[in-house]
Amino acid sequence: MPWSLLYENLEQTVAVILFGIGFSILLLQRNLIRKIIGLNIMSTATYLFLASMGYIQGRKAPIVTDGVTDLAAYINPIPAGLVLTGIVVSVSFTGIMLALTVRLYRRYRTLDIDQIALLAKGEDMA
């Protein structure tokens, strides 16, 4: 593992590590709310990875000031546009998942995913 290369792309390395941590939280935790938080951590890690591809050293944010429309004065604006869409979609699906959690709690009175699955199967078998 070439450590100096990983230290140069530090944002991308940290984004990948966060993706792995979020994935493990999604698999290991049994509480539904923590699974949803893990999914959110995974999605923000993806946005960090994507937006760090647009940064160019020594250039400024893509807002035209003093009429300078030179290519060498601004960073790449395309990844920022993609991530902007992604952040709003992420809040949408978080809202839907939390609504499902509220309905599941009202039905089964517990938040543990294993118990919910087994109670549902028990109802099927009975």
Partner 1 sequence: MSRRRSDWEQRPQARIRKWYKEGFLALDEEIIDHLTQEPRHTHLQEELIEAQQQAESSRQHDRALALERMDQHNMLIWARTRGRKAISRFHVVLALALGLLMIIFLLDTVAYMPRFGDPNAPGANEVSRRYIEQGLTETGATNIVAGMILDYRAFDTLGEATVLFIAASAVLILLRIDRNKDGSPVQELIAAESDDQHYEPRNDRILQGSAMVLSPIIFLYGIYIILNGHLSPGGGFSGGAIISAGLILYLDAFGFEKAGRFFTYKTFMWVSFFALSFYALAKAYSFYCGANGIPSGIPLGTPGAILSGGLIMPLNIAVGMVVACTMYIFYALFRKGGL
Partner 2 sequence: MSFVNVFLLGMLIVCALAVSLTRNLLTSLIVYMAYSLIMAVIWMFLESPDLAITEAAVGAGITSILFFVTLKKIHAIKGDSEREPTQK
Q: Which residues bind partner 2 (CB under 8 A)?
A: 7, 10-11, 14, 17-18, 21-22, 24-25, 28-31, 33-34, 36-38, 40-41, 44, 47-48, 51-52, 54-55, 59-61, 63, 75, 80, 83-84, 87-88, 90-91, 94-95, 98, 101-102, 105, 109-112, 115
Residue 109 vs 121, nearer CB to partner 2: 109
- For 106, left (φ over 0), alpha (ψ -120 to 50), or beta? alpha
Alpha carbons within 13 angstroms on the beta-carbon side of residue 101 total 16
What is the x/- site pattern for partner 1, positions 1-30, by CB under 8 A? Answer: xx--xx-xxxxxx--xx-xxx-xx--xx--
Backbone angles phi, psi at 63, to 5 degrees: -125, 120
Q: How far is the CB of 99 from partner 1 (least distance, A)?
A: 4
Residue 13 vs 44, nearer CB to partner 1: 13
Instruction: Classify 52 as helix, strand or coil.
Output: coil
Determine the Cα–Cα distance for residues 15 and 83; give it in Å rounded to an integer.
Answer: 14
